[in-house]
Amino acid sequence: METLKKYVSVKDEDHFYHQGAAELLIFNFLLILTILTIWLFKNHRFRFLHETGGAMLYGLVMGLVIRYVTKSADVESGTVYECEKLKSGPSTLLINITNQVYEYQYKREISHHNVNGHQGNAMLQKMTFDPSIFFNILLPPIIFHAGYSLKKRHFFRNLGSILTYAFLGTAISCIVIGLIMYGFVKAMVHIGQLKQWEFHFTDCLFFGSLMSATDPVTVLAIFHELNVDTDLYTLLFGESVLNDAVAIVLTHSISIYSPKENPNAFDAAAFFQSVGNFLGIFAGSFAMGSSYAVVTALISFMHLTKFTKLCEFPMLETGLFFLLSWSAFLSAEAAGLTGIVAVLFCGVTQAHYTYNNLSPDSKMRTKQLFEFMNFLAENVIFCYMGLALFTFQNHIFNPLFIFGALVAVFVARASNIYPLSFLLNLGRKQKIPRTFQHMMMFSGLRGAIAFALAIRDTDSQPKQMMFTTALLMVFFTVWVFGGGTTPMLTWLQIRVGVDPDEDLKARAASQSAPNLDKNTTKAESAWLFRIWYGFDHKYLKPLLTHTGPPLTSTLPEWCNPVARLLTSPSAYGDQLKDDDAVYIINNDELTENCESPAHIPVPAQDSAGSIQATGKEDIQEGDLGLGGYELQLQHAAGQPQKSSLA
Amino acid sequence: METLKKYVSVKDEDHFYHQGAAELLIFNFLLILTILTIWLFKNHRFRFLHETGGAMLYGLVMGLVIRYVTKSADVESGTVYECEKLKSGPSTLLINITNQVYEYQYKREISHHNVNGHQGNAMLQKMTFDPSIFFNILLPPIIFHAGYSLKKRHFFRNLGSILTYAFLGTAISCIVIGLIMYGFVKAMVHIGQLKQWEFHFTDCLFFGSLMSATDPVTVLAIFHELNVDTDLYTLLFGESVLNDAVAIVLTHSISIYSPKENPNAFDAAAFFQSVGNFLGIFAGSFAMGSSYAVVTALISFMHLTKFTKLCEFPMLETGLFFLLSWSAFLSAEAAGLTGIVAVLFCGVTQAHYTYNNLSPDSKMRTKQLFEFMNFLAENVIFCYMGLALFTFQNHIFNPLFIFGALVAVFVARASNIYPLSFLLNLGRKQKIPRTFQHMMMFSGLRGAIAFALAIRDTDSQPKQMMFTTALLMVFFTVWVFGGGTTPMLTWLQIRVGVDPDEDLKARAASQSAPNLDKNTTKAESAWLFRIWYGFDHKYLKPLLTHTGPPLTSTLPEWCNPVARLLTSPSAYGDQLKDDDAVYIINNDELTENCESPAHIPVPAQDSAGSIQATGKEDIQEGDLGLGGYELQLQHAAGQPQKSSLA
């Protein structure tokens, strides 16, 4: 009898588990289907559907099937039980049911009006992820990859504009959407679609901040494929990367904005506290992320030179790189900061310093690993978005609200791009043309971040309405704008097929001679940035990597003993190149020694070192599945075969 | 008021979440520490501590700290609540506590006597993984990687011996351990340490089966590093890989062995049902795993040739490869089979067929990806084992039982290796020397699989005692035997520094001329294997890959239209090599065209094709962090730079 009972209990657990496997299997099949379709499309050069759009489409179909075909009612799952003895919800609950003790894990608190959603189809519930999975598992690799694969050269050339769009632009977008939505909400209350107390202005701002996170992954993929003008690509990519960080922190700050009395009235103290929160969280996350990257750089630097032979164990190196980067995320979360922002800046800093210290094998491994994780996570999220339209149980479709959001998103994007571009053009030597502005306006897609922010809290009815609306906005923008990118590029006559390196060289060559002394005319790389670059080049780079001048030449003389200790022996060989770095700063092109000497007339440069640097940069910028070729060439040519006896 | 409440509820969730981040952070730090230590050790060529041993050590220290330093009592977590209204445990439980509805997720059923373990330190509970994480997340990549990185050539040369050790050996080991433990249990009952009804013979067999899973990861790492004799390496590696699969299915079959009446009496019907279960599950899992791999091979084959240009998107290719392999695991689990076994054979088949169809870039990517996942998962498991000694709350330390297990494991290993080696040597031309047998005896470490099998069910007291004992056996064997590998190799005078390729070539050269017609003298690659090899080479390889003779030449003439359709155009070029494949079979060395023509006197062979094949095999056998060099050379030389406009 006892054995029989045990047998039954094992079977029971198996049942629970096998269902989990079946659900994951559904996701796997959707992703496989997506990949196969996209292969087909890529081979025929159909560009109207990106893999994210495809994943969403298949998810949608599968959601429809699950919703209307499967029907398995779990009788007990909609009932609420009373428990008088408990004062608060413990993290683990032991319950005695017909003389068997069951352990239950705390999941979340739900509002009374959502209880109904838990009745009925158990399959739908099973297909619903825990929202925290998005923030803790799926988004970090995407964001890290964005930071790690930033094209440094072009990014720094446009840093001023990118920061303006990302910070000022996102703030403008948030406020504009908030205001417009507040107007629509007022109108809805007026015609009786909403109750007055349901929607505060802060809720509208919350919606504004989450809808301000743009995600032009579809557009950028096409840009990359067609080799669209590098400046446009960089502006858009840089903006979207930083804009995510801003939107996430903004959303967090707004959600903890808590005026003491009337939530509708403006409370100056609470407002400034929110601004303070924003700045504090942003700065803290930035510091957390970059310090982990600096630690990684130091470790890899020390091992590479002092203890030697580190590069013989690329697996250990890659493992350390991965774990330290993930720790940046976890530390920030544990400290109450924003992990996503930390991981973004960790990625940027890793690319800037650590990457140079890695062995060629590790360089490739880290890039490919994060590329792959990014690819999978992105497709899972978009696939899930498709599913969520039918499987999420508390949708509130409000046509007026959705229409309002559509209008608000457009107006907000327009009042972000056009006025800021006008202002930036006043200072930029290299103006942002009208066509680029239109293209940027058109590329304001919403994606993974907006969705993840919206699904994080779907407890109250306003939040549910926002979630539904955000989801529909993602569908609309990804399919319509994502699909329309190629026609739009043709229509706006934006040049494609640009080789980024050639572009930069040509531009540098045309400017090099006459502009040598006009180093104050350009708004980009302004004084603040100049100081940072000088500091970075003179002190940080030599300290953390093997490039740059030796510290002995940059630090004051009395620091010499320390400087000698900290400088990599290989840095002395780079001493000559210091001159041309200064030249490059003067030339206002932060190309970081990566031009080949044939194209820029540089005084006294050892060409071998420079070619090597070019190789490095090229690897850095290798992209999705197409990079790494130069690396292999370099690797094969430069390295002896060390295949055994590590 | 409402806002304030919302604020509190958000904070609450944050609290739950931030703790999760902190726990993961602890793991991360342990792993980082492990990697840094191992780097140091590797640089100084200390071989007495492998990274897995190090991870275990750090985990142990951390567990000690958590156990005795942190103290956070969660008052409510040890109390059992009554719920009269419920008839069975639903998967999701909604509970109304002081007018707030909380959602709880079903976790597991626990026995009444274990309830006490849930009182007290909440931190300990938090650090306890869900056991299913081992089986569903950590083990699959390890096992897949083992299958994928199998050195085919050497493996097939020793297939007979490996299968004998894995199947017969594991069964012997299971029965011997079971019998010895049953003796000890009887003795314990006799002296009053155990109650009669607690421990059945099936429980002893269960323990025997889980302790039969050997995991010589530490030993193999040292073998690899020192280039120990290839035959010894292959025998041990092959045995441990297949032995895991056998042990897992065996454990499962025993756990569902349910005699109808007296559980101590022998029930023939139930026994044969268990044997049937074993065979059914094993065969089913094998079929599931290999069919997914065949599907992958077909897809990659079709795309590569027919639709062309697939290899231009290595990311999609890698993604498909990864998802289909994972699907093999999930499908097997969903169908009630053993996912781990499915994923093992999926790995072997992927390496045999799909690998040949992948683009060079994807070959490297898939290898590196699984290598990395294997590395991380292995270290996490060993780290967790260290932790579990102090953080697991239901340990039952029974010195007599532990001593019994120690004896049983040794006797069982000895009665597996020595008699079977004797029998095998009767048939083998290349005998297994005494020193190898001693080394194999010595390498019977227990590791991740034994631990995962033991932690899967720790509900009853016998199971808890088994878990504690298994854990201690892992510690003992990994530290003592793992650390003693190098001295043992020296003591047994086993040759190190062997180049596997040279070894094989030398052996082939010495046998080639005289043995050309003596093709029936060797026990290895016997008639069964010959048939399989012929079938594989003539039909499967041409159908699934680009190697081997065209189907038009191997299929009967009336199949020609179909054959022409299915054969890769590039296969016709290989037609000449068909002869030397036959030659190689005759030569009893299943080297699969991978010898360079300079070493074996082969009639009529196009040397270019053969060199290419050599390259392929070398990639296949590139190992942890050192492989891929040949690939890069080949890649750099053979491929044009296709860096843009995919």
B622 Rama class: left (phi>0) / alpha (psi -120 to 50) / beta: beta
> Mean pLDDT throughout B587-597?
35
Phi, psi of A213 (to 5 degrees): -80, 105
Inter-residue contact A578 to A553 (CB < 8 Å): yes
**pLDDT tens-digit series, residues B529-561:** 677 777 777 777 777 776 666 666 666 666 666
In this prediction, residue A114 carries a pLDDT of: 58
Phi, psi of B79 (to 5 degrees): -85, 140
In this prediction, residue A486 carries a pLDDT of: 85
SS3 content of chain A, % helix, strand, coil (to 5): 70, 5, 25
In this prediction, residue A611 carries a pLDDT of: 37
**ipTM score:** 0.77
B473 plus B407 within the same structural domain: yes
In this prediction, residue B175 carries a pLDDT of: 92
Q: Do B313 and A258 touch (CB under 8 A)?
A: no
Phi, psi of B582 (to 5 degrees): -60, -40
Q: Do A104 and B100 touch (CB under 8 A)?
A: no
On chain B, the residues whose CB falls within 8 A of the CB of A226 are 645
Mean model confidence pLDDT for chain A: 73
Strand (E) or helix (H) holding A159: helix A159-163
B344 plus B420 within the same structural domain: yes
On chain B, the residues whose CB falls within 8 A of the CB of A115 are 94, 101
To the nearest whole Å, the CA of B170 is away from the closest chain A CA by 24
Establish if B198 belongs to a structural domain: yes
Establish if A390 belongs to a structural domain: yes
B451 plus B554 within the same structural domain: no
> pLDDT grade, residue A410 (50/70/90)?
very high
In this prediction, residue B106 carries a pLDDT of: 67
In this prediction, residue A63 carries a pLDDT of: 87
> Mean pLDDT throughout A110-131?
62
To the nearest whole Å, the CA of A556 is away from the closest chain B CA by 34
On chain A, the residues whose CB falls within 8 A of the CB of B3 are 258-259, 263
Report how far residue A590's alpha carbon sits from residue A582's, in angstroms, rounded to the nearest whole number: 10
**Higher pLDDT, residue A600 or B526:** B526
Of B275, B27, B262, nearest to A3 by C-alpha is B262
Q: Do B74 and A90 touch (CB under 8 A)?
A: yes
**pLDDT tens-digit series, residues A352-376:** 888 888 888 888 888 889 989 999 9
In this prediction, residue A356 carries a pLDDT of: 80
Establish if B579 belongs to a structural domain: no
Q: Do A628 and B330 touch (CB under 8 A)?
A: no
Nearest Cβ partner of B16 from A18, A91, A318? A91
A332 plus A470 within the same structural domain: yes
Q: Is the pLDDT of residue A637 over 60?
A: no
Establish if B642 belongs to a structural domain: no
Establish if B69 belongs to a structural domain: no
Q: Which residue among A567, A588, A613 closes a domain? A: A567
Q: Do B103 and A90 touch (CB under 8 A)?
A: no
In this prediction, residue A403 carries a pLDDT of: 92
**Amino acid code (one letter) for B92:** T
Which residues lie below 8 Å from residue A537, measured CB to CB, with a gap of 6+? A548, A549, A581
Establish if A419 belongs to a structural domain: yes
Report how far residue B311's alpha carbon sits from residue B302's, in angstroms, rounded to the nearest whole number: 11
Q: Is the pLDDT of residue B6 over 50?
A: no
Q: Among all residues of chain A, which has the CA nearest to that of B91?
A: A77
Provide the token pair at A566. 């900290």
Which residues lie below 8 Å from residue B634, measured CB to CB, with a gap of 6+? B360, B612, B615
Q: Work out the burial of residue A496: count CB atoms within 10 Å of its CB; fewer than 13 is exposed, 13-18 middle, 19 or more buried.
A: middle
To the nearest whole Å, the CA of A341 is away from the closest chain B CA by 15
Inter-residue contact B126 to A135 (CB < 8 Å): no
Residue of B51, B72, B77, B91 to mutate, interface with A, max A Cβ within 10 Å: B91
Q: Among all residues of chain B, which has the CA nearest to that of A316?
A: B35
**Higher pLDDT, residue B518 or A212:** A212
Q: Among all residues of chain B, which has the CA nearest to that of A628?
A: B643
In this prediction, residue A207 carries a pLDDT of: 92
Report how far residue A396's alpha carbon sits from residue A394's, in angstroms, rounded to the nearest whole number: 6
Q: Do A641 and B625 touch (CB under 8 A)?
A: no
Q: Is the pLDDT of residue B443 over 60?
A: yes
**Amino acid code (one letter) for A167:** F
To the nearest whole Å, the CA of A257 is away from the closest chain B CA by 9
Q: Do A628 and B361 touch (CB under 8 A)?
A: yes
Provide the token pair at B468. 């504690």
Q: What angle is formed at CA A315 by the lines to CA A310 and CA A317, rounded to 5 degrees? A: 45
Q: Among all residues of chain B, which has the CA nearest to that of A130?
A: B105
Q: What is the 3-state secondary structure (H, E, C) of A186-240?
A: HHHHHCCCCCHHHCCHHHHHHHHHHHCCECCHHHHHHHHHHCCCHHHHHHHHHHH
To the nearest whole Å, the CA of A108 is away from the closest chain B CA by 5
Q: Locate tokens 């309830």: which residue?
A: B115
**Higher pLDDT, residue A574 or B594:** A574
On chain A, the residues whose CB falls within 8 A of the CB of B323 are 28, 31-32, 35
On chain A, the residues whose CB falls within 8 A of the CB of B617 are none
> pLDDT grade, residue B589 (50/70/90)?
very low
A442 plus A360 within the same structural domain: yes
Q: Among all residues of chain B, which has the CA nearest to that of A7?
A: B256
Establish if A523 belongs to a structural domain: no
Residue of A12, A15, A35, A461 to mutate, interface with B, max B Cβ within 10 Å: A35
Nearest Cβ partner of B18 from A13, A82, A334? A334
Nearest Cβ partner of A43 from B309, B323, B641? B309
pTM of the model: 0.78
- Kindly report the CATH number assigned to the domain that includes residue B312: 1.20.1530.20
Q: Which residue among A475, A498, A521 closes a domain? A: A498
Q: Is the pLDDT of residue A3 over 50?
A: no
A350 plus A235 within the same structural domain: yes
**pLDDT tens-digit series, residues A546-572:** 666 666 666 666 666 666 666 555 544
In this prediction, residue A208 carries a pLDDT of: 93
To the nearest whole Å, the CA of B628 is away from the closest chain A CA by 9
The size of the A-B interface in CB pairs under 8 A is 387
A543 plus A455 within the same structural domain: no
Q: Among all residues of chain B, which has the CA nearest to that of A309?
A: B43
B303 plus B388 within the same structural domain: yes
Report how far residue B251's alpha carbon sits from residue B443's, in angstroms, rounded to the nearest whole number: 22
Q: Which residue among A543, A567, A591 closes a domain? A: A567
A434 plus A552 within the same structural domain: no
To the nearest whole Å, the CA of A110 is away from the closest chain B CA by 6
Which residues lie below 8 Å from residue B627, measured CB to CB, with a gap of 6+? A643, B367, B619, B621
In this prediction, residue A112 carries a pLDDT of: 59
Share of chain A above pLDDT 70, in %: 63
**pLDDT tens-digit series, residues B315-345:** 888 888 999 999 999 999 888 888 889 999 9
Nearest Cβ partner of A80 from B4, B96, B324? B96
> Mean pLDDT throughout B166-175?
92
Domain that holds residue B547: 529-567
B442 plus B541 within the same structural domain: no
Nearest Cβ partner of B102 from A42, A89, A136? A89
To the nearest whole Å, the CA of A603 is away from the closest chain B CA by 31
Q: Hey, is A493 helix, strand or coil? A: coil
Nearest Cβ partner of A369 from B6, B310, B372? B372
Q: Is the pLDDT of residue A631 over 60?
A: no
Number of domains within chain B = 2
Q: Do B103 and A100 touch (CB under 8 A)?
A: no
Q: Do A25 and B104 touch (CB under 8 A)?
A: no
Q: Do B95 and A103 touch (CB under 8 A)?
A: no
To the nearest whole Å, the CA of A428 is away from the closest chain B CA by 30
Q: Among all residues of chain B, which has the CA nearest to that of A198?
A: B2
In this prediction, residue A536 carries a pLDDT of: 75
Of B584, B580, B582, B607, nearest to B596 by C-alpha is B607
**Higher pLDDT, residue A200 or A206:** A206
B538 plus B489 within the same structural domain: no
Report how far residue B123's alpha carbon sits from residue B264's, in angstroms, rounded to the nearest whole number: 40
Q: Is the pLDDT of residue A230 over 50?
A: yes
> Mean pLDDT throughout A2-18?
42
On chain B, the residues whose CB falls within 8 A of the CB of A319 are 31, 35, 372, 375-376, 379
Q: Among all residues of chain B, which has the CA nearest to that of A86?
A: B97
DSSP secondary structure string, B521-546?
Answer: S-SSS-HHHHHHHHHIIIIIHHHHSS
In this prediction, residue B588 carries a pLDDT of: 34
Q: Locate tokens 């000690």: which residue?
A: B64
> pLDDT grade, residue A504 (50/70/90)?
low
Establish if A534 belongs to a structural domain: yes
Which residues lie below 8 Å from residue B172, measured CB to CB, with a gap of 6+? B412, B415, B416, B419, B420
To the nearest whole Å, the CA of B419 is away from the closest chain A CA by 34
A189 plus A315 within the same structural domain: yes
To the nearest whole Å, the CA of B17 is away from the closest chain A CA by 8
Q: Among all residues of chain B, which has the CA nearest to that of A335?
A: B18
Q: Among all residues of chain B, which has the CA nearest to that of A460?
A: B6
